[in-house]
Homo-oligomer: A and B are copies of this chain.
């Protein structure tokens, strides 16, 4: 008996008898999430013009995807990783989950750089944080939880669980970082994934290098050592390549059974440590980039190669027509870390600042949708969208309707927008909230910021100095010209909008050290 023939026979039988109905209505979905890659750092021009970096990075497969799908010109995520990931998994804004910072390895341990103990030995270096004027807020430091009763968590019905319940084969590959160790959501099996490759409570890899066993050596090990990669120990296989191969292996089962899959391929790259992908780094050095920039560019190209491998896999298996691909990054490019080379705080030019910040460099992210037959190839959409929209959007794509969740979903289904250009207002209020101190040293354009985007307008609330700034993003994407004084009524309206949102979500606010009171909402600046 020939088994491949036998399986084909069964698939035909299933088709003949109607058993495959579910599959026809359920496209496969690949969510390809990149970490810390900047908005301008690829061949795809997300902006309305082409910036210098768009021409420095070699990403033919991102371009290939853009040509097959829709580029989102105004897509947003949170300023750091866990809030974006947990917002997508819950459909809630980060101010609403109260998960506004990255979750620590160790549970019940705030990751804030002041006002609480740091959580990992790897971050303890230089961690004698200056005592600030603001103290850390009471946020959900343990992340999300699929069950009640875990302290400092947002309880949720996770997106992956709804997909699995609807028949999807759900694969997690790469970085998870949804919750701290010792809580249920540190284990993605509890979030509805059927398979997990390499996802833990860690937000970064100990090493990207196979020759380092990805950190699994006596010299290197800490909790960021990557799990499930034993096959590649002692080899020259970069983690991005290894994760891609492993992720595609896990699709064998659903593909051979004709069952729909959801592949969440969340690369650790390009998070620190910035280490070269040896396959690509030399040409960037040769092009004159400094070593940090060259390494980062090689990591971007490694991710691009991974995307190409996924696209090739889908084509080789005849799945391209029935597979949706979502491409996105989890926050803005890191513009602060010395490993990345370049001039600090300039990496995302023309955008202001980078990861950690509520300025555009921290929250404006690459995003693309490829959906053959439904989303126009080579198209663009300029309506602002935000990470929590992915929750209802992905469930809508999967045909999951009228589901019940324990949480209140804030995001909006983008399917009408991307397929027919309707259904999502360009004037929605999109909120960003980072009531934290990021690093032991002060970062004035990162620490303690809130912001709201509404159409062309953006307000930034600087909690530490208790002032607001107003920008017109259409005219000033670089947020160089604060026009709050020029448009006081718009500033007040935006401040009220942001304040109402934060109040409605009972958002966590820092505490003023001198008074013990929470930082007030920005609309207090416009009272009287």
- Kindly state whether residue A476 has any CB partner on chain B within 8 Å: no
Quote the shortest CB–CB distance from A105 to chain B (angstroms). Answer: 9
Bound-complex Cα distance A200 to B227 (A): 9
Quote the shortest CB–CB distance from A382 to chain B (angstroms). Answer: 34
Residue of B nearest to A3 (CB): B165
Partner of A223, one of B184, B190, B216: B216
Against B, the Cβ 8 Å flags (1 = close, 0 = not) of A1-44 are 10110110010011001110010000000000000000000000
- Kindly state whether residue A402 has any CB partner on chain B within 8 Å: yes
Q: A18-B17, A195-B195 are in contact. Are A182 and B235 (CB under 8 A)?
A: yes
In the complex this chain forms, how many copies of it are found? Answer: 2
Bound-complex Cα distance A19 to B340 (A): 55
Interface size (A, Cβ < 8 Å)?
59
Partner of A17, one of B17, B216, B246: B17
Quote the shortest CB–CB distance from A391 to chain B (angstroms). Answer: 16
Question: A3 contacts which chain B residues (CB < 8 A)?
Answer: 162, 165-166, 400, 403
Question: A190 contacts which chain B residues (CB < 8 A)?
Answer: 231, 249
Bound-complex Cα distance A235 to B108 (A): 13
Question: Which of A130-138, A251-259, A425-433, A461-469 touches B?
Answer: A251-259
Judging by beta carbons under 8 Å apart, are A7 and B228 in contact?
Answer: no
In chain A, positions 218-246 with a C-beta closer than 8 Å to chain B are 218, 221-223, 227-228, 230-235, 246
Bound-complex Cα distance A190 to B229 (A): 12
Judging by beta carbons under 8 Å apart, are B230 and A181 in contact?
Answer: yes
Judging by beta carbons under 8 Å apart, are B189 and A246 in contact?
Answer: yes
Partner of A195, one of B106, B182, B187, B194: B194
Partner of A181, one of B4, B165, B181, B234: B234
Bound-complex Cα distance A182 to B400 (A): 41
Question: A235 contacts which chain B residues (CB < 8 A)?
Answer: 182
User: 29 A-B pairs, CB-CB below 8 angstroms?
Assistant: A1-B401, A3-B162, A4-B165, A6-B166, A7-B167, A10-B19, A13-B18, A13-B19, A14-B19, A17-B18, A164-B253, A167-B257, A169-B253, A181-B213, A181-B234, A182-B233, A182-B234, A182-B235, A187-B230, A187-B246, A189-B250, A190-B231, A190-B249, A194-B250, A195-B195, A200-B230, A218-B221, A218-B222, A221-B221
Interface residues of A (CB under 8 A from B): 1, 3-4, 6-7, 10, 13-14, 17-19, 22, 106-107, 121, 162, 164-167, 169, 181-184, 186-187, 189-190, 194-196, 200-201, 213, 216, 218, 221-223, 227-228, 230-235, 246, 249-250, 252-253, 257, 259, 400-403
Interchain residue pairs A-B with the least CB separation, the first 4: A187-B231, A17-B17, A227-B227, A181-B233
